[in-house]
Structure 1
Amino acid sequence: MADDNPLTVFVADSPKVAEAVVALLSKEGLTAELAAPVPRADPEPVLGGADMVTTDGIEVRVADEKQAEQAREVLGTAIARAKLDALREKRATRTGTVTAACEECGKTSEWPAASMGTTETCPHCTAYMDIPDPDDDWSGVDVGDAEGDDEEEGEGTK
């Protein structure tokens, strides 16, 4: 956070965003206020002119340091919820169809593009199947061992 102030829970890039954060925290029973941005000298002055003054943003601070962690959790949850809502809205506005293959029976079926990123029931074998979403990045997700690996390890330890 700016200036490493323990009371600072968020730094907004506009007054409107900062006020929305204060309102959100207030709804959760947390007292917060805006701190005026601290001006600093621009490290790269404009040619032929004086050094410009810039700011790091508008700080949102809680009144009590004991509430800082709770406020950060509230904001983290709100940000995650906003991202999820944006993703859902994006998916809902997709048009066309997508073809997906069932991992159980191997047959393909057509789905509305709005279904991408969801789990549906295969119309051929009724198993659950994932409708892939090209926007989802699973490269950093550890999904664990392959099915059955844990059972084999457990059998030898009886």
Structure 2
Amino acid sequence: MSDALHVVCPQCHSVNRVPAERLAEGGTCGKCKAPLFTGEPVELDAAAFDKHIGRSDLPVVVDFWAPWCGPCRMMAPAFAQAARSLEPRYRLVKVNTEEEQQLAARFGIRSIPTLAMFKGGREIARQAGAMDAASLVRWIQAQA
């Protein structure tokens, strides 16, 4: 009997059940038919954030950033590279703290970029400051 994992669609944010042994195959959303894994960070608003954090069985790594932040913009390509190498074992997402100020306040984001990892709906790790792709991957893998 296989264990199914809940994976939230990056497109329509529906929750999908994926057999654990078939996770590497990716799969498509049962609702919108979009790929469940794109190798790109997923931009989230507050409603989608709560769905991804609360319903996903995968560890979710959040990049809290802002468009005016130089280090955030510098780290964006490294974060995207990390997403390509870490999916489908992790979901990497981005939250624009300018557009989602209440979300940033809810999690006490004081400096950006700030990375936070969530598993089972709870924050399990946090790291402030920009990192290169190799450091990002090492930090993420060390947490989960």
TM-score range, shorter chain: under 0.3
TM-score by length of 2: 0.26
Task: For CA contacts below 8 A with separation 6 or more, give which structure has more relative contact order.
Answer: 2
Which structure shows the higher strand fraction? 2
